[in-house]
Structure formats: structure tokens, C-alpha cells
Copies of this chain bind each other. A is one copy, B any other.
Amino acid sequence: MTTIYDIAELSGYSITTVSKVLNDYPNVSQKAKKKVMQAVDELGYTPNSSARTLVTNKSWLIGVVFSENLGVGIAHPFFSEVIESFKKHVELYNFDLLFLSRNRGLEQETFNHLKHRGVDGVVVVQAFGDNMVNIDESPFPIVFIDLPVDRPSSVHSDNRHGSKLAVDHLVDLGHKKIAHIMGEQTVFAADERIKGFKKAMESHNLAIPETYMVSGGYFSYEGGREAMIKLLANQDKPTAVVVSGDMMAIGAMKVIEEAGLKVPDDISIIGFDDIAIAKHTNPPLTTIKQDKELIGRQAAIMLLDKMNGETKQYTKVVPVQLIKRGSCRAL
């Protein structure tokens, strides 16, 4: 491995001067710069980040804590897009991303590992917060995406408003018998959507039979199927259902079709997330779009700010949007 010493020797300068050249210090002559850079090229020298981190105490590393319930990890249809957006923005500032092994959320072990790695900042993409560590005395700033509870320095969609948009749309179309396939209630976003749904229904003076609220669990296709089966068991079937996630919505549509009914003719379906597939289902899924790009970017901006010393804590709520496609029809 070539080191700064090799460069010093070849260029005829001291390691101090080499280091100064490499770090754009002022007190170096053009001549020295030239000679040093020549040596660098000749030997194919690359500085050692560990050594640099050790003395500067800056790693240029951002830790990604990512845990989700579907069990698909990085391949998650929604979070992967958020992380990609986040990545695109922090890399403009030359940060690399570190994905920890054995990462099950921000627990003590994960937190220690992060400390061990000396990351400059952390983004937590996590929908639940069971064993979450106390972060008050964290040596690095942390930003949360889709956080479990209302907590400073987090960004998430306006989930309640999303539910309202969904219900309003359905009501506009003339629906009155509207059911809700919920996500697991311990998940922050699911809970918010439930609250938004109830409130919106209330604002339209629409009653919600108890059997119209069923859980689809952790937002999976299978969960959506099971929930829809329960919904279909109602004597008085809903004419529309607001589903808390697109994957569940796709599962629900499948069940409806298997029951010999049609979407949207017999039952209208509206999803949540607008994952990549949503526009390619048949019929294309009407849904509440979460702005994944913006969520990732906001999280990046927030973290970058904090790493620059900004201490103000705030929550960023990202707008959602109704995307009308083919899975809802007027009564």
C-alpha cells in the first residue's frame, strides 16, 4: 500500500507538505503542489480513510437503519424508493452510505454498532419503535422517516389527510358504504390513516359498522387478501374500501375477482402509497400517492443540516396526493 510517506519521498517534500497539498492548504507553493501531484499520479496513491477518520473524527459515512415488516429488506416496494432518493441527495455532499449487518431497528446493539463505525449521521427508516434506544445522548444526529411516534426531526407523509382525500373521493363518487382495510395499528402510519379515515367518515356523517374495519396486518399482499375475505363475509357488503397500503389493495382486488365480482363495478378500491406497480395492475389502482422522492430528500436535507450544527428540531410533514386511476367508479 502506498502511503503519504512514499509520496513524500518521491516528491522530495515532507509528509506535512504532502498532506497540505492533498487537503488544499494555503501555504504551499505551486511548485510543491505540482511535484506532489505528480508523485500521487505516478504511484496511484489513494489516501486511507481510516487514518484520516481517526484523526479528523469525521467518517463521511451515513448509517442507514432500515427495518420493515414485510421481510423483503432493501427490496421493499415503498421504502426502497425513499432510500434511493435519500441516497441521491446525500451523495451530492460526498457521503457514503453504510448498511449495517444484523440491523433490527434502532436497538442498543445497532446503536453501538453505529458508534463503533463512527458514522457522521444516521437515518432511521422504521415504522415501529419497540426497543428503541434512548437517543438523547447520541453522538451523531439522527433523522427518522415514518417514525413510530411524534418525535423531533422526522419526516413522514400527511397520512391523516391521505385518508381524508380517499374518503372524500369515494363520497364524491356517491359511495356511502365505505370500509377500511387497516394496517397493523402499532405501525405509526397505519394508525394515522385509521384516525384520518374515521374522522373523514364522521365529517360526512357516515357510520362505520364495526365489521367494516379489518386489519390487513403488515401491509402485505396476503394480509390484504385475508382482510378482504372478511369484508366480503358481510351481509351488507361495502361498495368501496379504503386500503391502507397498495400491496394490500392488490391482494384485496384479487380476492374480489376470485369471488366473481369486479373492480370497480361491484366494489371500488383505493390504495395508499402509489408504489411502482400500482399503475400496472388491472384495473390500474386509484391510490393516495406518497411523495417518496420528497420524503427522501427532506430527510437528507434535515440530516445534512443537523450535521452542520443545526440544533432546531422539527417534523416535516410531506403532502400526499390523490391519483385517480381505474379502481374506483361512481355509484
Contacts and interface: CB of A to CB of B under 8 A. Distances in A.
A118 B48 contact: yes
* Protomer copies: 2
A224 B273 CA distance: 25
A88 B99 CA distance: 11
Interface in A83-142: 83-84, 87-88, 90-92, 94-102, 112-113, 115-118, 139
A257 B99 CA distance: 42
A80 B87 contact: no
A116 B281 contact: no
Contacts of A80: 74-75, 80
Given A101-B96, A282-B282, A54 B46 contact: no
Nearest to A112: B46
A7 to B, nearest CB: 15
Contacts of A84: 72-75
A181 B280 CA distance: 19
Given A49-B117, A101-B90, A116-B47, A75 B276 contact: yes
B96 A96 contact: no
A186 interface: no
Nearest to A114: B46
29 contacts: A1-B139, A46-B116, A48-B54, A48-B116, A49-B116, A50-B54, A50-B59, A50-B118, A51-B54, A54-B54, A73-B87, A73-B88, A74-B80, A75-B276, A87-B99, A90-B101, A91-B101, A91-B102, A96-B98, A96-B99, A96-B100, A97-B98, A97-B99, A99-B99, A276-B277, A277-B280, A281-B281, A281-B282, A282-B282
A250 interface: yes
A39 to B, nearest CB: 16
Sort A-B residue pairs by CB-CB distance and give the 3 closest, nearest first.
A282-B282, A91-B101, A97-B99
| Consensus secondary structure, chain A interface | helix
A170 B107 CA distance: 52
Contacts of A53: 50
A254 interface: yes
A100 B62 CA distance: 11
A272 interface: no
B98 A98 contact: yes
A113 B46 CA distance: 8
Contacts of A102: 91, 94
A81 interface: yes
Contacts of A319: none
A48 to B, nearest CB: 6
A85 to B, nearest CB: 9
Nearest to A64: B99
- Looking at A50, A53, A72, A276, which has the most chain B CB atoms within 10 Å of its CB? A50
Contacts of A118: 48-50
A84 B80 CA distance: 11
Contact of A250 (B50, B51, B280): B280
Given A54-B50, A83-B74, A98-B98, A221 B115 contact: no
Interface string A27-61: 00000000000000000001111110110000100
